[in-house]
Homo-oligomer: A and B are copies of this chain.
Amino acid sequence: MSRKLRLMIPGPTPLPPEVSEALARPMVGHRGKGFAELTARLHEKLQRVMQTENEVFILTSSGTGGLEAAVANTVNPGDKVLALVAGKFGERFRDLARAYGAEVLELHFPWGAPVDLDAVAEKLKRHPDLKVILTTQNETSTGVVHDIRGLGALAAEHGAVLAVDAVSGLGGIDLPADAWGVDILVTASQKALMTPPGLAMISLSEKAWAKVAECRAPRYYFSLPAAKKALAKWNTAYTPAVSLFFALEAALDLILAEGLEQVFARHRLLARAIREGVRTLGLELLAPDEAASPALTAVKAPAGVAVDDLRKLLLDKYGVLFAGGQGELKGKIFRMAHMGHVDRLDVITALGALEMALNELGHKVTLGGGVAAAQRALLGGAE
């Protein structure tokens, strides 16, 4: 039979049928009235999902392109930037600032722990000339959600703008960007937004636009002033990925029909269930409960089990694809994503397969034990 693939990696995530259908639509002119109307509708829907009244720009690139747009439009060589690093994507944002010649101050936190607000506050106090704070919302490499609300409050009392990489969390984890004082919000299509990779979205506060006005870094494709000028006519500066625009609208419609609060609650519930299941199997979770991601769960490798063997068996025999560890966590954890088009039975599937695979690899766990714990969480969940 044809293999039934269950993607549980943090992007690309499974596509709802409505999104697949939208992808197959014939091309249209991207400078015509119909496409401008689509762009306007997308803008309104993105503002709702991104919880911002700022303009939202859709860039045809992966999420990293959106992060580059954040840096390339605000950071001049020599500008002081603070990078909060607690995983691979924190490193990436830092590396981008370095590539643009910023003087990058770094605060490191253990991979698996959240950002420590006190350390940030102290750094901000000592460096009143900091221009940009770079942080991650949902650190995909660890399954930790950082305290964006807290960071927003600190940034609000400082001249620096807060730039948030929300690539893997937005649309699955609550992030009231304007209310929490996020100045630059970056996300991408292929995670909780249930759309294939190829689109990045970015919005900027007035405070951030003031930095853009002072910026002299070379940029063209990722120029936000060019994007802003085009958006005034519901257009894009350069040819957009038309099919992905179609698909994104289908996905946003699904999210808005379900309701943002419901979507967030669903993610929290599934995360709780999967964590209960994992814990019941005697495995150790990387992130503490209070900073655990509703969209991705990282699990420490059980003693005597090689993560690569586990992942290979799960994929080859059961068609379940978990992610491995990245950077310093390579070989030490595996990661189960539960973002986007995921439901209760996806959690059961994942745990059921995990239990069988662990037993097959000689790490004995009670068959059905993790599943039952997850079921209890799913049934008991008030959400």
Q: Are B68 and A221 in contact (CB under 8 A)?
A: yes
* Chain B CB within 8 A of A28 CB: yes
Are A99 and B220 within 8 A (Cβ)? yes
Q: Is the CB of B321 within 8 A of A32?
A: yes
Residues of B within 8 A of A31 (CB): 9
Out of B29, B63, B218, name the residue touching A7 (CB < 8 Å): B29
In the complex, which residues of chain B have a beta carbon less than 8 angstroms from the beta carbon of A72? 218
- Decide yes or no whether A107 CB sits under 8 A from chain B: no
- Please name all residues of chain B whose beta carbon is closer than 8 Å to the beta carbon of A239 when the two chains form the complex: 11-12, 62-64, 188, 190, 197
Give the nearest-CB partner of A243 in chain B: B196
Known: A27-B12, A96-B220. A197 touches B64 (CB 8 A): no
- Across the interface, which residues of B come within 8 angstroms of A25, CB to CB? 20
CA distance A25 to B23 in the complex (A): 9
Interface residues of A (CB under 8 A from B): 5, 7, 9, 11-15, 20-21, 23-32, 60-65, 68, 72, 95-96, 99-101, 188, 190, 196-198, 217-222, 238-244, 247, 315, 321
Residues of B within 8 A of A241 (CB): 62, 196-198, 241, 244
Question: How far is the CB of A27 from the nearest CB of chain B, in Å?
Answer: 4
Given contacts A7-B28, A12-B30, contact A61 B61 (CB under 8 A): yes
Q: How far is the CA of A210 from the CA of B96 in the complex (A)?
A: 24
Instruction: Evaluate whether A24 and B28 lie within 8 angstroms (CB atoms) in the complex, with A64-B220, A101-B218 already known.
Output: no
Asked if B197 and A240 sit within 8 Å, CB to CB, the answer is yes
B15 with A100: CB separation less than 8 A: no
A227 → B minimal CB distance (Å): 12
The docked-state distance in angstroms from the alpha carbon of A222 to that of B222 is 11
For A95, list chain B residues within 8 Å (CB): 220
Shortest A294–chain B CB gap in Å is: 21
Contact indicator A5/B26 (Cβ below 8 Å): yes
A369 to B310, CA, bound (A): 70
Q: Are B190 and A99 in contact (CB under 8 A)?
A: no
Given contacts A60-B65, A65-B221, A221-B222, list 17 more A-B pairs with CB under 8 A.
Answer: A5-B28, A9-B29, A9-B31, A12-B29, A12-B30, A15-B26, A21-B24, A27-B196, A32-B321, A60-B62, A62-B240, A63-B238, A99-B220, A188-B239, A190-B239, A197-B241, A217-B218
Query: Do A221 and B61 have beta carbons less than 8 Å apart?
Result: yes
